[in-house]
Amino acid sequence: MADVLAVPLHATHKHDASDNYLTNPRGLKSWLTTVDHKRIGIMYLWAILAAFLIGGVFALLVRIELLTPKTTIMSAETYNKMFSLHGAVMVFLFIIPSIPAALGNFALPLMLGAKDVAFPRLNLLSYYIYVVGAILGITAMVGGGIDTGWTFYTPYSSTTGGAVSLMTFAAFVLGFSSIFTGINFIATIHKLRAPGMTWYQMPLFCWSMYATAVIQVLATPVLGITLLLLIMERTFHIGIFDPKLGGDPVLFQHFFWFYSHPAVYIMIVPGMAIISELIPTFSKKSIFGYKAIGFSSIAIALLGFLVWGHHMFVAGQSQLASTLFSFLTFFVAIPSGVKVFNWLATMYRGSISLETPMLYAISFLLLFSIGGLTGLFLGMMSVDIHLHDTYFVVAHFHYVMMGGTVIAFLGGLHYWWPKMFGRMYNENLGRIACALIFVGFNATFLPQFVLGSRGMPRRYYNYLEQFQPLHQFSTFGSWILGLGLFMVAGNLLASLRKPYDAPRNPWGGRTFEWETQSPPITHNFDFDPVLKHGPYDYRPEKLPPRPGVLSPARPAGGHS
Amino acid sequence: MNWFRQLILPIEGSTLARDVDNAYLFVTLVSLFFFVLVAGLAALFVWRYRRRGPNEITPHITHNLGLEVTWTTIPLVLVMGLFFWGFYGFMRAQIAPGEAMEVQVTAKKWQWQFEYPDGMRTLNELHVPLGKPVRLVMTAEDVLHSFYVPSFRVKHDVIPNRYTEVWFEPTKAGTHQVFCTEYCGKGHSDMLAKIVVEDEQSYQKWLIEGDESMKSMPLAELGKLVWENRGCSTCHALDGTRGQGPSWKGIFGQTHKFADGASAPVDANYIRESLMEPQKHVVQGFEGIMPTYQGLLRPREVLGVIEFIKTLK
């Protein structure tokens, strides 16, 4: 191990945060043409948060419409557009880029001890492609909208009106942004690790980002091709998916899920990446089962390519195919379970402090467990026949996507916020907001499991009166959830008005980003990063001595 | 567990339901066990190992092979069991018994049409005898739809240019709800149907005469029922608002202008023609998207629609 040297005494560094990547160089032009991974991460952050806001408003409107079984505030056409846009915006503009492109761009090179990503210009290009994709998407929203659902199932999508071609083209363009980020991360992790950092000494965040990047690079082109075929069918009436033109609508579903199932892991694996950082830091304890967690990320990424057919048990694929897909699907449960157990084991005998990021991490453990366990219902073919395309599925994937990824994203945002902007937010407000989000989220989505089990189909504008009480409960929950998210925004933004007050290492993290100043200087490190200890090494002899504190007694039997 | 079953699942209406429910409840128990385990341990650790000071020392535990093997293999065995259980139930739901009665189903925006072996057709209402297996052979005319009966625990997509099947053997008399569960546009959530399960005697009687209640019903009331149940209400409003088709309010006796420039008064013959050959005279400003009702309505039901429209002033 390379961790025999003592850690530099960063406590003695003079805290002069005014010269940092945010202020040097100054001016709008310097931002728009920057190749600094941190600035690109921040620009991504504002962009995806704007998308989150738009998608969230759509979600709240959808929930308000569902307060009554008939018309509440909008027509059926508007409702269909609302839920389609909610899905498309959240998936393509928010969740997929959220953790990798925003937080990952900022944190990954810092964690590796690198000055930047491997291809800084490609990184900026990826951002501008995202912006072009987003503008195309917004143009499509304003100029007709889409009423196909985010899944664009044919032949409905080949024949319906609206801006389907433009929206799918936007998703096609956004795919390239995702691919470029993936390529960049793979190269960065291979080539730019600090001296002494072997693969097994990388922070687990990097392992998960690597797994994610592999999926992004391999799966996204398939979506791109599929969407182009759809555009060609709509524009030139080339029969590919539409039975009227001699096409096969089920083929579209195969193509679509061949990307979109791995895409689920593009969304959740980065969430797991963040949790693997938060739990050791706030438990002040070495991660339990480093290799098991690292390889389970890779296993999830690879298995994710082999299970797409579980979206199609009642769609008209062969029984043999369904059986194989169901069999393979159950294997995904294993690495996911391994991760949860490892995180819990990390907390065992730790020194757990419940600051805001850790509250999000614990929320993640509970919500992701529910999301994962309800996946078992849907993996069982006989039960899936009953639950497919009902609110049970809606609840299940929201527990994974929002309860998992978005909660982890918020945890990561609160974790790295002091590093990004050099300011501490109000800790109590942060905790209250986290609690509100937890309560609101469960109030919104738990009733939907019952709705679905009782037979309430998804994407319904009108519904039977028997379902109204649970729908109303869910809508009230969405308001609590919205309030919590609003509080997060207020709390974080308010901190930006303060002077720099964040120390280098507010949480006691052991990875490289905590050794440089907050916010970091333009070139990341004011010293040469050389690995001297593992990413989660909390043995007292490895910890930097604290000024004014006597070195604590060594535990008996401590060894490296 | 029965109270829980009734709380969370629809009534058990077919021979397939019991096995699906048992599987559902078993996974619920497994999930609760693991959730309580995770949440309980998290709560315990957060409390027991809460930080008491800034310089606390924690043990350097990197892994424990025994534990890791345990929590890999136990879930693995468990999920393999779940797979086989699901597989068993799935195959049962796939293969209809040979003696099953076959009904043809055609789905289109936004209605379900059923055709019996003797050629009789019904719309959005399927009558089946209690305790006899029924096989539905389904196809769609326009986009994907999906045939879902929660109380029977059956569902399958309905696809243009292809035949797909569901089968069930009803075990409970009464009315069962059918939903469309593949998103199909504006009227998706109104694309509902009913399955009426009745004993052999009343089923045979229904086949010949139609509903008892319908025979004695005043014509205008029967017409209103047709409007509600046979898909008319999806496009034709009664209050003057414009839908996919013209509202029926006050149209009787009015003169309608057609897309081809001709015009004619709305009378009994015009209404009858609109039901049987809807494309012949499409009202100006509307698309000719109405399906034909030829063979779908009993003669008394056609009269009923005419009488019902007369009452809408």
Tell me what pLDDT residue A161 has. 86
Q: Which chain B residues have a beta carbon less than 8 Å from that of A344?
A: 38, 41-42, 45
- The minimum CA-CA distance between A549 and chain B, rounded to whole Å, is 9
Residue of A nearest to B43 (CA): A362
Which DSSP category does A103 fall into? I
pLDDT band with cut points at 50, 70 and 90 for residue B212: low
The closest CB to that of B185, out of A156, A460, A463, belongs to A156
CB A215 within 8 A of CB A262: yes
C-alpha distance across the termini of chain B, in Å: 55
Helix/strand/coil for B139: strand
Closest CA to B309 of B241, B237, B249: B249
Tell me what pLDDT residue A24 has. 85
Contact B177 A160 (CB under 8 A): no
**Residue among B60, B194, B289 with most chain A CBs within 10 A, to mutate:** B60
The closest CB to that of B146, out of A370, A389, A460, belongs to A389
Identify the residue whose tokens are 């008394």. Answer: B300
Find out whether the peptide bond into A243 is cis, omega within 30 degrees of 0. no
Q: What is the mean pLDDT of chain B?
A: 91
Fold of domain B218-311: Cytochrome Bc1 Complex; Chain D, domain 2 (1.10.760)
Per DSSP, chain B holds a count of helices (H) and strands (E) of 9, 12
Contacts of A545 (CB under 8 A, 6+ apart): A9, A11, A551
Contact B186 A77 (CB under 8 A): yes
Tell me what pLDDT residue A16 has. 67
Closest CA to A205 of A270, A267, A109, A288: A270
Gap between the Cα atoms of A225 and A243, Å rounded? 19
| B25 in reach of chain A (CB within 8 A) | no
Identify the residue whose tokens are 């599987």. Answer: B23
Task: Please give the order of strands across the beta sheet that includes B111-115.
Answer: B121-123, B111-115, B101-108, B134-140, B164-168
CB A410 within 8 A of CB A98: no
Contact B155 A319 (CB under 8 A): no
Residue of B nearest to A289 (CA): B63
At residue B53, does pLDDT exceed 50?
yes
A519: phi then psi, degrees, rounded to nearest 5: -70, 160
Contacts of A390 (CB under 8 A, 6+ apart): A451, A452, A453, A455, A456, A457, A458, B181
pLDDT tens digit sequence for B122-155 = 889 999 999 999 999 999 999 999 999 999 999 9
Fold of domain A34-514: Cytochrome C Oxidase; Chain A (1.20.210)
pLDDT band with cut points at 50, 70 and 90 for residue A125: very high
- The minimum CA-CA distance between B21 and chain A, rounded to whole Å, is 8
pLDDT > 70 fraction of chain A, expressed in percent and rounded: 94
Tell me what pLDDT residue B119 has. 67
- The minimum CA-CA distance between A224 and chain B, rounded to whole Å, is 23
At residue B229, does pLDDT exceed 90?
no
Strand pairing category for B145-149 and B154-158: antiparallel
Tell me what pLDDT residue B59 has. 93
CB A286 within 8 A of CB A538: yes
pLDDT band with cut points at 50, 70 and 90 for residue A380: very high
> C-alpha distances in angstroms, A299 versus A182, A356, B45, B70?
18, 30, 28, 18
| B289 in reach of chain A (CB within 8 A) | no
| B44 in reach of chain A (CB within 8 A) | no
Contact B58 A353 (CB under 8 A): no
Contact A379 B183 (CB under 8 A): no
Contacts of A200 (CB under 8 A, 6+ apart): A290, A291, A294
At residue A8, does pLDDT exceed 90?
no
The closest CB to that of B46, out of A249, A352, A458, belongs to A352
Tell me what pLDDT residue A532 has. 87
pLDDT band with cut points at 50, 70 and 90 for residue A9: very low
The closest CB to that of B72, out of A291, A334, A462, belongs to A334
Tell me what pLDDT residue B117 has. 81
Tell me what pLDDT residue A11 has. 43
Average pLDDT rounded to a whole number, residues B109-119: 86
pLDDT tens digit sequence for A32-85 = 999 999 999 999 999 999 999 999 999 999 999 999 999 999 999 999 999 999
Q: Which chain B residues have a beta carbon less than 8 Å from that of A553?
A: 57
- The minimum CA-CA distance between A330 and chain B, rounded to whole Å, is 6
Between positions 124 and 153 of B, the ones with CB within 8 A of A are 142-144, 146, 148, 150-151, 153
pLDDT band with cut points at 50, 70 and 90 for residue A390: very high
Gap between the Cα atoms of B178 and A62, Å rounded? 24
Gap between the Cα atoms of B252 and B268, Å rounded? 9
Domain residue ranges of chain A, discontinuous segments joined by +:
34-514
**Residue among B37, B49, B92, B142 with most chain A CBs within 10 A, to mutate:** B49
Contact A373 B30 (CB under 8 A): yes
Average pLDDT rounded to a whole number, residues A427-448: 98
Average pLDDT rounded to a whole number, residues B91-102: 94
Gap between the Cα atoms of A359 and B46, Å rounded? 10
- The minimum CA-CA distance between A407 and chain B, rounded to whole Å, is 17
Q: Which chain B residues have a beta carbon less than 8 Å from that of A283?
A: 49, 58
At residue A548, does pLDDT exceed 90?
no
Q: Which chain B residues have a beta carbon less than 8 Å from that of A309?
A: none
At residue B242, does pLDDT exceed 60?
yes
Least confident residue range of A328-337, B35-44, B288-297: B288-297
At residue A7, does pLDDT exceed 80?
no
Superfamily of domain B101-212: Cupredoxins -  blue copper proteins (2.60.40.420)
- The minimum CA-CA distance between B199 and chain A, rounded to whole Å, is 25
Residue of A nearest to B166 (CA): A314
At residue A13, does pLDDT exceed 70?
no
Reported ipTM: the value is 0.91
| B46 in reach of chain A (CB within 8 A) | yes
Structure tokens at B257: 């202008």
At residue A144, does pLDDT exceed 90?
no
**Residue among A385, A454, A462 with most chain B CBs within 10 A, to mutate:** A385
Between positions 89 and 118 of B, the ones with CB within 8 A of A are 89-94
How many angstroms separate the most distant Cα atoms in chain A? 80
Q: Which chain A residues have a beta carbon less than 8 Å from that of B36?
A: none
Average pLDDT rounded to a whole number, residues A114-128: 97
At residue A257, does pLDDT exceed 90?
yes
Contact A337 B190 (CB under 8 A): no
Q: Which chain B residues have a beta carbon less than 8 Å from that of A319?
A: 90-91, 94
Tell me what pLDDT residue B131 has. 94
The closest CB to that of B30, out of A153, A340, A376, belongs to A376
Closest CA to A185 of A115, A294, A128, A104: A104
| B76 in reach of chain A (CB within 8 A) | yes
| B177 in reach of chain A (CB within 8 A) | yes
Burial of B77 (0-12, 13-18, 19+ CB in 10 A): exposed
Vertex A134 angle, CA A128 and A136, to 5°: 105
The closest CB to that of B162, out of A316, A349, A463, belongs to A316
Average pLDDT rounded to a whole number, residues A242-258: 93
Q: Which chain A residues have a beta carbon less than 8 Å from that of B54?
A: 546, 549
Contact A323 B87 (CB under 8 A): yes
Average pLDDT rounded to a whole number, residues A406-414: 98
Q: Which chain A residues have a beta carbon less than 8 Å from that of B35?
A: 366, 369-370, 373
Contact B46 A337 (CB under 8 A): no
- The minimum CA-CA distance between B118 and chain A, rounded to whole Å, is 28
Domain residue ranges of chain B, discontinuous segments joined by +:
2-44+63-94, 101-212, 218-311
Tell me what pLDDT residue B231 has. 79
The H or E element containing residue A233 is helix A204-236
pLDDT tens digit sequence for A26-46 = 999 999 999 999 999 999 999
Q: Which residues of B225-262 are buried (b: 16+ CB within 10 A; e: fewer)?
A: bbbebbbbbbbbebeeeeebbbbbeebbeeebeeeeee
- How many contacts does A have with B, using Cβ atoms within 8 A? 275
Helix/strand/coil for A118: coil
Gap between the Cα atoms of A185 and A338, Å rounded? 25
pLDDT tens digit sequence for A496-517 = 999 999 999 999 999 999 999 9
Residue of B nearest to A151 (CA): B183
- The minimum CA-CA distance between A459 and chain B, rounded to whole Å, is 7
CB B153 within 8 A of CB B92: no
Query: CA neighbours within 13 Å on the CB side: how many for A316?
Result: 24
| B188 in reach of chain A (CB within 8 A) | yes
pLDDT tens digit sequence for A277-317 = 999 999 999 999 999 999 999 999 999 999 999 999 999 99
Tell me what pLDDT residue A547 has. 54
